[in-house]
Amino acid sequence: DAIPIKNRTANSLLQAYKTCYQRLVDSGLKPQLQFLDNECSAEMKAFLNTEGIPFQLVPPGCHRRNAAERAIRTFKNHLIAALATCDPDFPMHLWCLIIPQALLTLNLLRDSRINPKLSAWAQVNGHFDYNKTPLAPPGIKVLAHEKPATWLTWAAHGVEGWYIAPAMESYRCYKVWIKATRATRITDTVTWFPSPRVQLPIPNTTNLCQPAPHH
């Protein structure tokens, strides 16, 4: 998991940790032993003691003793790669909005350390349905369809924005940041305008004519 924070103060770090911790607990995965950086705050230690979680501090400058350090580097590289595929006009101050999809795609690729037959995502969140929640590279420019009930007489039927992530609680919907309103909305109909550096797959006539496989 990854939570963006405003600063590295003890309170900000603790609140982010509590959010990650609660997500794990809600999935039945309460930490059994927590390895922490030697700069761990007194507030963090107090919270772990309250929750009954044993912890150990790694030696100063010895990152290899903490598996989280390697996981952080992997996530940073994955997030940088996602940012590199964004449309050139994508507002980079929205980088934090693509973190949920970066977590999703990374954990779909990683094996669970508890059960290697499952992805890390499936271990915590259950099976991921690609049909229910289709994915696209983050930061792609889109035109989001406006529903007829919201049209003015001569208004355009779509608004410009950027794809952020799938809408996990909606069927085949997307989270889109709308340029005009400077806010995120959920929509089920978009037209994609990928930049030249991101080529979306286009099915050819052979693929379209082939019958679906039977299971």
pLDDT digits (tens, 9 = 90+) for 43-70: 999 999 999 999 988 877 666 667 777 8
CA angle, residues 53, 55, 60, in degrees to nearest 5: 160
| Digit-coded pLDDT (tens) for 115-149 | 999 999 999 999 999 999 999 989 999 999 988 77
Cα–Cα distance measured from residue 32 to residue 150, given in angstroms and rounded to the nearest whole number: 52
pLDDT score for 61: 67
pLDDT score for 212: 54
pLDDT under 50: residue ranges of the chain: 215
pLDDT score for 72: 84
Q: Which residues contact 90 (CB under 8 A, 6 or more apart)?
A: 139, 141, 162
Strand 183-187: give its sheet, edge to edge. 183-187, 174-178, 158-166, 141-145, 190-193
pLDDT score for 66: 72
pLDDT score for 194: 85
Q: Which pTM was predicted?
A: 0.80
Return the closest-CA partner of residue 24 out of 129, 114, 135. 114
- Side chain identity, residue 48: L
